[in-house]
Amino acid sequence: MPRRCAGWGSPIAEWDRATHPKASASEAPARRTIHPVRMTRTRHGPISRRRFPSVMQTSPVSVSPWRAGASGLVLTLVALLLLAACQTVPASAPPAPVEPPLPGSLMTAIVPLPRDPPGFNAYLSDTGYEELLGELVYEGLAEMAPDGSFYARLALELPTQENGGISPDGLTVTWRLRDHVVWSDGRPFTSDDVRFTYEALQHPNNKLARDTGVELIDSLETPDDYTVVLRYREPYANLWGQFGGRGVGIFPRHACGDLGWMYGWQCNTEPVGTGPFVLESWEEGKQIVMARNPRYWQTERPFLDRIIFPIVPDGMERADMLADGDSDAALWLTPEQLKYLDRTPELRRVTLPGRWLLRVVFNLDTPPSPPPDSTPTPAPRRRAPTPTPGPPGPNPALADPRVRQALDLAIDRQRLADEVFGGRARPASGEFFRGWTECPDLLATLYDPEAARLLLAEAGWLDLDGNGIVEAHGVAGIPENTPLQIRFTAPDSWEELLKAQKLVAQMWKDIGVRVSAEIAAPRDLQGTWEEKGLEVQSRFEVDLWDDGYPGTDPTDYLIWRYASWAAPGPRNNNQGGNVMRFRNSEVDRLLQEALTQVDPRERRTTLCQIGRILADERPMLYLVYFTEVHALSPRLQNVVINPNDTLTWDAFNWQVSR
């Protein structure tokens, strides 16, 4: 069944109270649902599904001094984040060194957390905490820089066709590893550790919280201690990021455990890594202390001696610690915390787009033809009787793109963000609003109810009887005088979602649409075919939920969600994610093209083309995306914000000054 997801006031993306018994309702004030599937391309078809185990502005990242009542100075991502050593061509080193420690450095940073993390392994869970801490310990073969380019980390260079690392057909990839890296316990890092990580990720017993693409690898060879050769069955676009990312990387064979029991690994809670910090102590419910790794392969790094993570469940107490100078950061702030911290203007505020995007989903399936005797009998009056609602299914009125566009124009996204989500969301223009995938030319639809009414009239929907509801006049396939009405369903999974449903329904009523707002259990709405899920069985009209691609690469998610072959049906055993039944041959072509584009910048051009088609066709309406807000003390120096990674991605450069 769908896992429960915490709200925008918490970093937790997916969690289960059964595995987090100490979590209270106050720590998770809102719930979200995610479709209980993962996206995987297979040899036998472009897409298949396995069950999970367990939002557009032109510059969505902002960093500002704290100013009460103001959004602060929004800096463009490029100006903030360009790194000298982060190139799309092979990079031989991580980002360029910064200046030596500032005079008077305190050498310890304090970053409170609301609860203990599940562990240090972000492959197993997606709470945000394990990413934050795992990034300090584990490193990937390559990592993504703030501008969306990749740079080599444990690898000596990025494999390319130019340096012989990628074969002409893109199916053989050779990684050359650094030969001077050791694990924090002193054992050498070798290609056998990469093999161990690969074998663990592809083991059927290990149910992962994120997609890795390892199922596309036919074989892995280690001809020597510092060479890894991967042979793919088909080109994989995210091959540079496959063994790295937010809080994950390569694991040590000698310090973890059995390949087929990742949940029981010792290194989940007693990590041995190649990263800049090591676990010094963990007192559950009190604090986690990360100490400088004396064996770190990047000389003179990290600058800090320690990062201490006190466990402070009370959000206002964490805010008070930052305001009083007792900590250096407050993470994942709620509106209440933000208001309290407005009194401390010297703080640095960081706003990042999160994964989750609130969306309206249309059923574009072809409606079944009604039997001849089902046509309403004309009544001796101007307006036909209100039809009795039949079984749920596609609404023929929504097949007209003008009707979908009118519904789009009728939604005031800024009001939705402010009134329902307390300003913790921003108007969205599409799937590509965060990190390297951002498409600046795609803008959120402007609120224009008058234009919406004109579009409905153009499509044949007018209110000629003056009762406030538009009805069909000359609309193909719809009986004359039939009122425009839609079933609008949302899962009963978190309070703010239902508030958003109510507000959007009212906006549609304001342009003359009769809306029946309904609530369904998440499993009833988004369950599998065997569970008789309404969406997978095409038994819905219009739904509202939030979703988003995990990690930094949306390619597999887009195929699962929008490819014509991903519409649930016999071809994919009724397991595709394209519940809209959206079909567009150009989108299909572009998705296949994106699979062959290893360079993220090249792939972004293709993805933005897809985004423009989706904006025109509107199989979904993209409402708002949810943001993460952090506050940093001015004492914490050299923090570079990376929208493609977690906050601690370059903690080896952090300093704390007097």
What is the domain partition of the chain in residue ranges? 82-309+647-656, 355-371+390-627
pLDDT at 60: 53
State the CB neighbour count (10 A cutoff) for residue 164: 10
The pLDDT tens digits for 325-365 are: 999 999 999 989 999 999 999 999 999 898 899 999 999 99
Tokens of 535: 């969406």
**What is the distance between the alpha carbons of residues 195 and 184, in angstroms, rounded to a whole number?**
19
Q: What is the DSSP letter of 379?
A: P
DSSP per position, 287-354: EEEEEE-TT-SSTT--S-SEEEEEB---HHHHHHHHHTTS-SEE-S--HHHHHHHTT-TTSEEEEEEE
3-state secondary structure 72-136: CCCCCHHHHHCCCCCCCCCCCCCCCCCCCCCCCCCCEEECCECCCCCCCCCCCCECCHHHHHHHH
Which distant-in-sequence residues (6+ apart) come within 8 Å of 44 by Cβ? none
**What is the distance between the alpha carbons of residues 620 and 433, in angstroms, rounded to a whole number?**
15
391, 539 Cβ separation under 8 angstroms: yes
Q: What are 282's strand-pairing partners?
A: 288
CA distances from 354 to 125, 403, 577, 614, 629 (A): 17, 30, 21, 21, 10
pLDDT at 80: 37
CA angle centred on 420, ends 415 and 425, rounded to 5°: 75
**What is the distance between the alpha carbons of residues 555 and 598, in angstroms, rounded to a whole number?**
11
Buried b vs exposed e over 385-420: b needs ≥16 C-beta within 10 Å? eeeeeeebbbbbbbbbbbbbbbbbbbbbbbebbeeb
Q: What are 656's strand-pairing partners?
A: 636
DSSP per position, 31-86: EE---S-EEEEETTEEEEEE-------S---EEEE--TTS--PPPPHHHHH--TT-
pLDDT at 74: 35
Q: Show the low-confidence residues of the chain (pLDDT under 70).
A: 1-106, 209, 367-392, 658
Check if 82-309+647-656 and 355-371+390-627 are the same fold: no
The helix (H) or strand (E) run that includes residue 607 is helix 600-617
pLDDT at 49: 23
Tokens of 200: 């663990």
Q: What are 487's strand-pairing partners?
A: 516
| Distance from the Cα of residue 330 to its chain's centroid | 22
Quote the pTM value: 0.76
CA distances from 27 to 132, 313, 316 (A): 18, 8, 12
pLDDT at 88: 37
The type of residue at 254 is H
Going by C-alpha positions, the residue among 130, 136, 218, 224 that lies closest to residue 171 is 218
**What is the distance between the alpha carbons of residues 359 and 504, in angstroms, rounded to a whole number?**
11
**Is 355-371+390-627 in CATH node 3.10.105.10?**
yes
537, 553 Cβ separation under 8 angstroms: no
- Fold exhibited by the domain 82-309+647-656: D-Maltodextrin-Binding Protein; domain 2 (3.40.190)
Decide: residue 582, CB within 10 A, 0-12 exposed, 13-18 middle, 19+ buried. buried
pLDDT at 106: 54
**What is the distance between the alpha carbons of residues 590 and 554, in angstroms, rounded to a whole number?**
13
**What is the distance between the alpha carbons of residues 33 and 123, in angstroms, rounded to a whole number?**
20
**What is the distance between the alpha carbons of residues 190 and 196, in angstroms, rounded to a whole number?**
10
